[in-house]
Amino acid sequence: MVSSPRFSFSALLLACSVGASTSASGQQPPPARDTTNAGRTVQHLAPQRISGTRLAPADSASRSVAAHVDVVSSADLRRVGPSPAAVAQALSGLTGVSVFDDQGTRAQPTMDLRGWTLSPVVGVPQGVSVFLDGVRINEADAQEVNFDLVPAEAIASTSLIRGPIALYGKNTLAGAVLLTTRRGDEAPPIDAGISTGRFGYREGHLVAGGVTPSSLGGLDALVLARGSEESGFRDYTPATTRLLFANIGRRSAKPEGSDVALSLLYAHDRVYQAGSLPESRLRVDPRENYTPGDFFAPDLFHGALRGTFPLGTASLRGNVFVRRVRSEQFNVNIDAPSSRAHVDATSPGTTFELDFPASFAALTIGAEASHDLVRYRVASELTASAPTPPADCDANGLCENARVITDNGALFGQLVVPLLRSDPGDVAAARLGLTIAARADYVRTVIHDLRDPENDGSATFRRGSPRAALNYRAARGGAYVAINTAFRTPAALELACADEQAPCVLPFSLGDDPPLAPVTVTSSEAGGSWSPQPWLATDLSVYRSLVRNEIVFAASSRTAGYFRNIPRTTRQGLELGVRAERRRPGTTLRAFGQYALVDARYESSVQLASALPDEPVVKPGDRLPLSPLHRGSVGVGATVASRIAIVDAELRVRGTSSQLLRGDEANTQPPLPGYALAAAHLSLRRDRIALGLDVDNLLGNRFATFGTFAPDPLAAASSAEPPIARFVTPGYPRSLTLSLSATW
């Protein structure tokens, strides 16, 4: 069976398968040292006052973690320009983060952080957790994240916390992204904007916010409506997004009073995907769509009630939520039936945590629970080249009908003890602090095959994950060392295809296979920051992560395989940043430079899945595909205020080294070449009106960010075996976006 090479094989198992804020004392914590990195705030080694581990706002939660933390403000987010996935685009400018496109649409980028993936592709192992106001938005079916469903215009702050921080739960192997939304009292009464750009891009949004009089309850409210359309760079790749978001809350008038807010989010997108092209066709026309008609259409409802309440000297934070995503994925196959997958995932849950302040320490304890119910229905659709359904499908073409139930529960705690401080009565003043944290998780997954109950099965995982860190603060910087642990449970698709004696082919069936072990990570990390001058700041972090039982797809033949654990892999590297900002009356000048080394390697021998014939065994020391070894960026910017307007301009250049194609785990094939891209931002604001121009790929470079190996049936004679080709996804060419916005 030959399918569109848009997906990795593991992604095909679903998409194409047809078978199986306030501190503990109530006071606002002292601000961390802020520096600017292309407009982004980087916060390191901040005061040790504990401000929560899961539910505090993104900027204050980052202050309680001795780790490498970047904070992107709402103003920084606007600086990257309007985009269907603006949050991912903003994160791509941070140290060590690379973004690639394997779907052929800019609405669904994949992010790589420290050799781990955060992707919208189902079946790709995920390694980064994402939270919206404390609620995990990694989807229940496979922990993927769809950045096009994030209300970017309502985001107040975004924190990227690097490292396997166990307190943020399963799958936090490389880090966590914390998104905090704005409230009605933090936004202008009206903020409206329209944008237009190349390839038919059109976008409009309206944000309205305010506070009702005290006689009407003193409620604060924010409402966002957003929509975008584009025809796409590639042929037959239009994308339509629609999103509504509301935040309604009430803050107590007392400084240490309660704060309650209700968030509601609805989104409906329809994104057509071009995927990869054989290199021979790419050279002729990079806009070609190899299998026109592929699309992804999610429908999201997200509701969350959250609050903070004083309990004497302690404070309680909590939330209750429900998230439901119904999606349709259609995949066109060339010489096999096409497939249409419907996935309905519903996840109610809750999280609570208590802060206990004391003069000698600060303690946070908490618990969370969620119940995931996912329904899979996958059907084949016959074509002229494939007039018969796969053998495991019924007469109506239904090939998979399954229900997966996952129960998640956890207890966590964190203790911060000052070892050396200038103020004996203030934990936040600690010059040297010790952080001890731990989390205990329980995960149970039950698979019900509604077509064949004999395939029913279940798996249960229990895991404890500790963390310890030392944090030193000085007048011009500081340093930290940390030992972190985290784990990832196998997804249902991996559990259902884990039997070496019964490898999965397409089609396959969800069933009760031998259980996989959870992925575990133990990481040692050290970092520091130094500001030799008030206008200059540097930071450096180094890390090494030992990964046990990483889950990969192992090949038993060219057309079949199974998921298995690899005993050992490693990730190690360093992250370096330098930032400068000089302020003068009416003018601010800034410059930055970043470099990251990300060395991700296999440390065990195994035969992995590949379309390449006679692909050798992966050996210890072979590098992981699609993870560039070197990543860096430089940039300069200026903000000038005159009597006429405020002008902000910035020029950025980012680049990555070469990277191996997926399917070349044995490192035998030529890699994708490295590339460098320039981008420019220019905005003019006068009173309440602003005009912006954003240019991506300023020099119009031709490059590719993703590659894999797959059969190319369009290059084969009617009776010949399709040849194996290098399929790559072309990067977006030069694009210009013009924006007009107004606030009043």
pLDDT, position 126: 87
CB 515 within 8 A of CB 459: yes
pLDDT, position 717: 65
> Which segment of 41-55, 123-137, 208-222, 346-360 scores lowest on mean pLDDT?
41-55
pLDDT, position 503: 60
pLDDT, position 602: 96
CA distances from 655 to 95, 98, 593, 635, 658 (A): 11, 9, 12, 12, 10
pLDDT single digits (tens) 496-525? 777 666 666 433 444 445 678 999 999 999
The span from the CA of 93 to the CA of 71, in Å, is: 12
pLDDT, position 60: 54
pLDDT single digits (tens) 662-686? 889 999 999 999 999 999 999 999 9
The span from the CA of 537 to the CA of 560, in Å, is: 52
CB 137 within 8 A of CB 342: no
Nearest to 41 by CA among 55, 21, 60, 54: 60
First to last CA, the chain: 58
pLDDT, position 502: 63
CB 537 within 8 A of CB 528: no
Which of the two residues, 556 and 479, has the higher pLDDT score? 479
The structural domains of the chain, ordered by start, are 9-743 (2.40.170.20)
Q: What is the mean pLDDT of residues 371-382?
A: 92
Q: What is the mean pLDDT of residues 137-141?
A: 91
- 599: how many CB neighbours lie within 10 A of its CB? 17
The span from the CA of 99 to the CA of 89, in Å, is: 8
SS3 326: strand
pLDDT, position 373: 96
Which of the two residues, 283 and 614, has the higher pLDDT score? 283
User: What percent of the chain stands above pLDDT 70?
Assistant: 86
pLDDT at 16 over 60: no
Q: Residue 87: in which H helix or E strand, if any? A: helix 86-91
Residues 6 or more apart whose Cβ sits within 8 Å of residue 503: 497, 556, 557, 560, 561, 562
pLDDT at 493 over 90: no
Using 50, 70 and 90 to split pLDDT, how confident is the model at 92? confident
pLDDT, position 56: 65
Residues 6 or more apart whose Cβ sits within 8 Å of residue 10: 123, 124, 125, 493, 494, 553, 563
SS3 206: strand
Mean pLDDT score of the chain = 85
Which of the two residues, 13 and 717, has the higher pLDDT score? 717
Using 50, 70 and 90 to split pLDDT, how confident is the model at 18? very low
**Residue ranges of the alpha helices (H) in 429-512?**
492-495
Structure tokens at 579: 């930032």
SS3 702: coil
Burial of 417 (0-12, 13-18, 19+ CB in 10 A): middle
- 106: how many CB neighbours lie within 10 A of its CB? 26
Nearest to 94 by CA among 542, 654, 493: 654
pLDDT, position 57: 58
User: The pTM is what?
Assistant: 0.89
pLDDT single digits (tens) 638-671? 999 998 999 999 999 999 999 999 889 999 999 9
Which of the two residues, 453 and 75, has the higher pLDDT score? 453
